[in-house]
Amino acid sequence: MTRPPSVDALARELADVGLPHPLLVDAARAAIAAGDPSSARARAEAMAGALLGPVINATGVILHTNLGRAPLPALPTVAARRYSNLEFDLAGGKRASRSDHAARLLARAVGAEAALVVNNGASALMLVLAALARDRSVIVSRGELVEIGGGFRVPDVMAQSGCRLVEVGTTNRTRLADYRSALDGDVALVLKVHQSNYRMVGFTEDVGVAPLSTLGPPVVADIGSGLLDASTPWLAGGPPVWLAGEPAARQTLAAGAGLVTFSGDKLMGGPQAGIIAGRADLVALCARHPLNRALRPGGLVLAALQETVLAYLRRDGDAIPFWRMAATPVEALRARAERLGVGKVVDTVAVAGGGSVPGQDVPSAGVALDGDHAARLRANDPPVVARVHEGMTICDLRTVDPLDDPVLAAALLHHRTGDTSTGQGVSNRHQLAGGPG
Ligand SMILES: *Cc1c(COP(=O)(O)O)cnc(C)c1O
């Protein structure tokens, strides 16, 4: 069996695209099959451009779910090319738990007896319900049966976990008496879900964690996004005003919740992960449940999470890109926009994103170019993702690492002068600053 020589020859001509030969063969074969061999290079470049890689986020959406949510703090060497003590007790020389590192530090950071890390916020809630409430009732307010995005609907997650949903109250108003009237011997948990991505205004009422925790069954608060600690000791200037009113894990536990669940990326600016924290007996039940084995994260994620929590415990918000971006004064962004020396300096509105703090604008600044340059900026190497608004291309600097400013300026300059070089190869994307340290 030999390949038709023309496919192989065409693939060899594409070697400089930087993809492994079998993928170049795929591109060549597809081009020939389409009757257009000259399209082989564009096909191969499109393949290279679709590989997972860094981009410059100039959208002003700080936690952009399509762009990987939070850029990570500097990763420790444990994450790459090394074995690690992931499940090994170095002092005793025996098997240990992967909860001994990041999870233990997280418990410390939120004042919990124990914590457990799983793959994301959705799996955290799923595991809690499956481990603590299978075949039993869970009371939830009708105002909190939300859809978070990406197919996460609270009633569906509850159904999948095998618990019985007991709805109380109405969409806009739920009182403690509503919960109390639903109490019977079968109730395993009272669930409180942060509305995250929407707000109700007007004639509304809901019940806080403290009164709920007087009802008897453990209260599980799925806060999703928000803060580790409302007093934000890792920020010199305190929490930004646009975060006011967001729930905080430490205070939710202090108010009496048996468990809190939240996202490692949305709430902490860390890697994609889900955290369950609270009472040791409840966390232990989750840890022992068979689903935990299916939902456990790998060493890469745990190493990134550990680094993130250590930064919180050191009270070093600067080491966490999310907080560095969130806390940058708008004047500093404006000064950077001036220094870019391309386009018009404009005031912009950034948002937290990730389905958190809806309607809360984050004052920001950036540069604007006349016309729609979004597609060409995405084709830049490295790709730049910008917004187009009223015929202008807007690059918001709040979400751009200052070390990437020169790269952004060069990309913008190209487009202004009409240089349409596509350059979609994988070759230059590693030149991105890629966060701190
Ligand atoms: C985002 C969110 C989730 C899901 O978290 P992921 O980490 O995205 O899986 C669950 N509950 C709430 C309240 C959320 O805001």
Q: How far apart are CA 201 and CA 411, in angstroms?
A: 43
Q: What burial letters (b/e) apply to 275-286, b meaning 16+ CB within 10 Å?
A: bbbbbeebbeeb
φ and ψ at residue 100, rounded to 5 degrees: -80, -10
Cβ < 6 A, ligand 1 pocket: 120-122, 125, 148, 152, 193-194, 196, 222, 224-225, 263, 266, 274, 355
Give CA 250 to chain center in angstroms.
20
Among protein residues, the one whose CA lies closest to atom 11 of ligand 1: 224
Compute, in angstroms, the gap from residue 435 CA to the centroid of ligand 1.
24
**Which residue in the block uniquely carries the two structure tokens 């007996």?**
281
May I ask the CATH class of domain 328-430?
alpha beta
Query: Given ligand 1 and candidates 128, 197, 222, which is best to mutate, with the most ligand atoms within 8 Å of its CB?
Result: 222
pLDDT at position 420: 43
Cis amide prior to 382 (ω within 30 degrees): yes
**Please, are residues 338 and 332 in contact by the beta-carbon 8 Å criterion?**
no
Among protein residues, the one whose CA lies closest to atom 7 of ligand 1: 121
- The whole-model pTM stands at 0.91
Atom from ligand 1 closest to the CA of residue 146: 13
Question: What is the CB-side half-sphere exposure of residue 42 using CA atoms within 13 A?
Answer: 7
Instruction: Please choose, from the candidates 71, 72, 75, 13, the residue with its C-alpha nearest in 3D space to the C-alpha of residue 44.
Output: 13
pLDDT at position 241: 85
Q: How far apart are CA 74 and CA 306, in angstroms?
A: 11
Among protein residues, the one whose CA lies closest to atom 13 of ligand 1: 224
Compute, in angstroms, the gap from residue 399 CA to the centroid of ligand 1.
22
Instruction: Please choose, from the candidates 210, 204, 127, 119, the residue with its C-alpha nearest in 3D space to the C-alpha of residue 170.
Output: 204
pLDDT at position 415: 61
**Which residue in the block uniquely carries the two structure tokens 């730049």?**
384
CATH 3.40.640.10 matches 77-316: yes
pLDDT at position 432: 53
**Please, are residues 264 and 271 in contact by the beta-carbon 8 Å criterion?**
yes
Among protein residues, the one whose CA lies closest to atom 12 of ligand 1: 224
Among protein residues, the one whose CA lies closest to atom 2 of ligand 1: 224
pLDDT at position 377: 97
How distant, in Å, are the alpha carbons of 127, 383, 431 from that of 415? 49, 13, 20
How distant, in Å, are the alpha carbons of 194, 196, 351, 356, 361 from that of 243? 14, 12, 11, 9, 10
| Percentage of residues in the chain having pLDDT higher than 90 | 81
Compute, in angstroms, the gap from residue 262 CA to the centroid of ligand 1.
7
Written as six digits, the tokens of 428 are: 């230059």
What residue spans define the domains of the chain? 77-316, 328-430
Q: Are strands 94-95 and 152-153 parallel, antiparallel or unpaired?
A: unpaired
Question: What is the CB-side half-sphere exposure of residue 14 using CA atoms within 13 A?
Answer: 32
φ and ψ at residue 116, rounded to 5 degrees: -140, 140
The dihedral over CA atoms of 11, 17, 23, 25, expressed in degrees to the nearest 10, equals: -10
Low-confidence ranges of the chain (pLDDT < 50): 3, 417-428, 430-431, 433-437
Q: Are strands 114-118 and 361-370 parallel, antiparallel or unpaired?
A: unpaired
